[in-house]
Amino acid sequence: MFGAIPRPDPSRCDPTRDDYEDIIRAHELAVAEGRATYRDPSTGLQVLTVATHLARGTCCDSGCRHCPFLEQ
């Protein structure tokens, strides 16, 4: 797809969260399997992957966890 899977911007997913590494693993597995979403390990909610955002091509301004279109 595009090499290393980027980690979410800290403003969207705080790396000090207790479940941060679980989130990263769930996201990486979903991307590797070609899935558009994964279940958040703590809440069970569906979360869009970075690949889904890239396929859409633009930011939807919804505050998505894995949005690759944030201004750095």
| Per-residue model confidence as pLDDT tens digits over 45-71 | 999 999 999 999 999 999 999 999 986
Q: Which helix (H) or strand (E) holds 20?
A: helix 20-32
Could you give the CA distance from residue 12 to residue 2 in angstroms, rounded to a whole number? 21
Could you give the CA distance from residue 12 to residue 50 in angstroms, rounded to a whole number? 13
Tens of pLDDT, residue by residue over 19-47, are 999 999 999 999 999 999 999 999 999 99
State if pTM tops 0.85: yes
Measured in whole angstroms, the distance separating CA 16 from the mean position of its chain's CA atoms is 16
Among the listed residues 20, 26, 12, the one whose alpha carbon sits nearest the alpha carbon of residue 68: 12
- Give the domain ranges of the chain: 20-56
Could you give the CA distance from residue 56 to residue 20 in angstroms, rounded to a whole number? 25
- For the cut 90, the answer to whether the pLDDT of residue 1 exceeds it is no
